[in-house]
């Protein structure tokens, strides 16, 4: 998460602009009947685009009147800003960075919110048998994932792995301790945490519906009708590969096509397998649906590590979680799809030749 720049934002407030084009149409298209339902439900609607956590955040908030919708959208943005101040490791003054700068082995007085974030992240480490582990700051540095990128030497990898793993971290109600020079990386859960908090703040401020798109992860909260979401083709993210119907909650996608770069002739991805220290094998992309954005965010990263079969198997085990993997054949370049059973009847192929299983 890069630093927030709230100065650069575009605000578009519209009062009951029924049937107007959606700011979020890039990613969300109204499901059947959606527009009419919004007309009945709300006479005030606000659409905004702001830059937060170094990426674009689009909000569409509806409420009974325009003033309430504006207040609710502002509450969401401020809350997301506070989440960034807690979790960003791009800024030295964030709470997480201050903990990293504190002495190893000593108790760090942390906010209840940070302790809760880390407890939830650690639960996903356990549930995914270590495919997700946010205590990978040393490996992120070894691969220079925040810079130009590099392939670390075997010795550098061994050294980095010693400084990784949530097993080095003790989380109490209001304090944190680490027994080695581990650093956490909120790259795979910070946006999710911000989305949940932002949507909750909007609803608490009177919004009836909040639709947020944060750097490609969406959250649909409140009394919203179902929506359809286009999932990008991992070979060319400007093209949609398929359309998914979602009935609320969050959708997170992880794939290297988003950030693909090559070093020494090999694709250097941005997802690490914490169990081995290697980069996760690139197969295409995975999209995870879950009620909470935090969970979808963590799980899409874990599912990318686990690969298509592991991703679907994990989703089948978890109540309320669905996964969809788009797989690019390494030889032919052909695209195929597989998904968990809860997505049956909710997937429409858009890419020519893409067959449903
Ligand atoms: P995006 O930022 O494109 O949404 P992800 O949500 O998948 O991507 O998160 C990837 C980021 O999470 C990486 O850039 C890195 O900071 C961190 N990360 C990489 N691998 C893991 C992992 N296995 N577990 C936890 N965090 C990871
Ligand atoms: Mg993620």
- CA atoms lying within 13 Å on the CB side of residue 203: 16
User: Which atom of ligand 1 sits closest to the CA of residue 215?
Assistant: 4
Return the percent helix, strand and coil in the chain, to nearest 5. 35, 30, 35
pLDDT score recorded for residue 257: 67
Handedness of CA 109, 112, 113, 116 (dihedral sign): positive
With b for 16 or more beta-carbon neighbours within 10 A and e for fewer, the 318-354 pattern comes to beebbbbbbbbeeeeeebbbbbbeebeebbeeebeeb
Q: Which residues does 205 contact at the CB level (< 8 Å), separation at least 6?
A: 68, 71, 72, 74, 75, 76
- Residue 63 near ligand 1, beta carbon < 6 Å: no
Question: Which strand (E) or helix (H) includes residue 232?
Answer: strand 227-233
User: Tokens 């990426």 identify what position?
Assistant: 55
pLDDT score recorded for residue 13: 30
User: Which atom of ligand 1 sits closest to the CA of residue 301?
Assistant: 7
Compute, in angstroms, the gap from residue 191 CA to the centroid of ligand 1. 10
Compute, in angstroms, the gap from residue 155 CA to the centroid of ligand 1. 23
CB 224 within 8 A of CB 326: no
Compute, in angstroms, the gap from residue 62 CA to the centroid of ligand 1. 31
Q: Which ligand is nearest to the CA of 139?
A: 1
* pLDDT mean for each 10 residues of the chain (357 residues): 32 29 33 36 83 92 96 97 94 95 96 97 97 97 94 97 96 94 96 98 97 94 88 94 95 80 86 97 96 98 98 98 97 96 97 94
Question: Which strand (E) or helix (H) includes residue 50?
Answer: strand 44-52
Tokens of 64: 């009974």
Tokens of 81: 């800003």
pTM: 0.89
- How buried is 200 (Cβ within 10 angstroms: 0-12 exposed, 13-18 middle, 19+ buried)? middle
- Residue 300 near ligand 1, beta carbon < 6 Å: yes
- Residue 230 near ligand 1, beta carbon < 6 Å: no
To the nearest 10°, the Cα dihedral for 221, 222, 226, 230? -20
Tokens of 98: 């201050």
Return d(Cα 46, Cα 36) in angstroms, integer: 17
User: Which atom of ligand 1 sits closest to the CA of residue 125?
Assistant: 24
Alpha-carbon separation of residue 300 from 120, 306, 307 (angstroms): 15, 10, 10
- Residue 253 near ligand 1, beta carbon < 6 Å: no
The overall longest dimension of the chain from CA atoms, in Å, is: 63
Question: Which strand (E) or helix (H) includes residue 298?
Answer: helix 293-317
Q: Which residues pair with 284 in a beta bridge?
A: 327
CB 312 within 8 A of CB 322: no
Tokens of 224: 């919203």
Compute, in angstroms, the gap from residue 31 CA to the centroid of ligand 2. 25
**Closest alpha carbon to 273 in 146, 96, 125, 119:** 125
Tokens of 6: 């709230």
**Running DSSP on this structure, what letter comes out for residue 150?**
-
Q: Which ligand is nearest to the CA of 215?
A: 1
**Closest alpha carbon to 187 in 284, 254, 95, 266:** 254
């Amino acid at each position: 998460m890069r630093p927030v720049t709230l100065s650069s934002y575009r605000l578009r407030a519209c009062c009951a602009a029924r049937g107007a084009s959606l700011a979020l149409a890039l990613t969300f298209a109204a499901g059947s009947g959606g527009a009419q339902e919004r007309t009945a439900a709300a006479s005030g609607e606000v659409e905004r685009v702001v830059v937060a956590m170094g990426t674009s955040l689009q909000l569409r908030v509806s409420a009974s009147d325009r003033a309430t919708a504006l207040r609710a959208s502002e509450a969401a943005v401020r809350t997301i800003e506070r989440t960034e101040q807690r979790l960003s490791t791009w800024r030295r003054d964030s709470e997480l960075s201050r903990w990293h700068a504190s002495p190893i082995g000593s108790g760090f007085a942390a906010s209840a919110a940070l302790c809760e974030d880390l407890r939830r992240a650690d639960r996903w480490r356990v549930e995914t048998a270590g495919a997700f582990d946010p205590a990978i700051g040393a490996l992120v540095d070894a691969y220079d994932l925040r810079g130009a990128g590099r392939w670390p030497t075997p010795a550098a990898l061994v050294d980095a792995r010693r400084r990784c793993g949530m097993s080095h971290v003790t989380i109490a109600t209001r304090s944190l301790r680490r027994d080695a020079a581990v650093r956490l990386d909120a790259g795979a859960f910070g946006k999710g945490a911000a989305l949940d908090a932002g949507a909750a703040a909007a609803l608490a401020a009177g919004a009836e519906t909040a639709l947020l798109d944060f750097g490609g992860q969406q959250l649909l909260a409140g009394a919203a009708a179902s929506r359809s979401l286009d999932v990008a083709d991992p070979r060319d993210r400007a093209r949609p590969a398929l359309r998914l119907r979602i009935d609320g909650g969050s959708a997170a996608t992880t794939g290297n096509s988003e950030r693909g770069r090559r070093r020494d002739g090999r694709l250097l991805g941005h997802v690490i397998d914490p169990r081995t220290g290697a980069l996760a094998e690139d197969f295409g992309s995975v999209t995870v649906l879950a009620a909470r954005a935090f969970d979808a965010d963590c799980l899409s990263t874990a599912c990318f590590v686990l690969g298509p079969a592991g991703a679907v198997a994990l989703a089948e085990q978890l109540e309320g979680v669905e996964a969809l993997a788009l797989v690019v054949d390494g030889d032919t370049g052909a695209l195929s799809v597989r998904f968990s059973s809860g997505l049956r009847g909710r997937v429409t192929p858009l890419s020519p030749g893409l067959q449903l299983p």
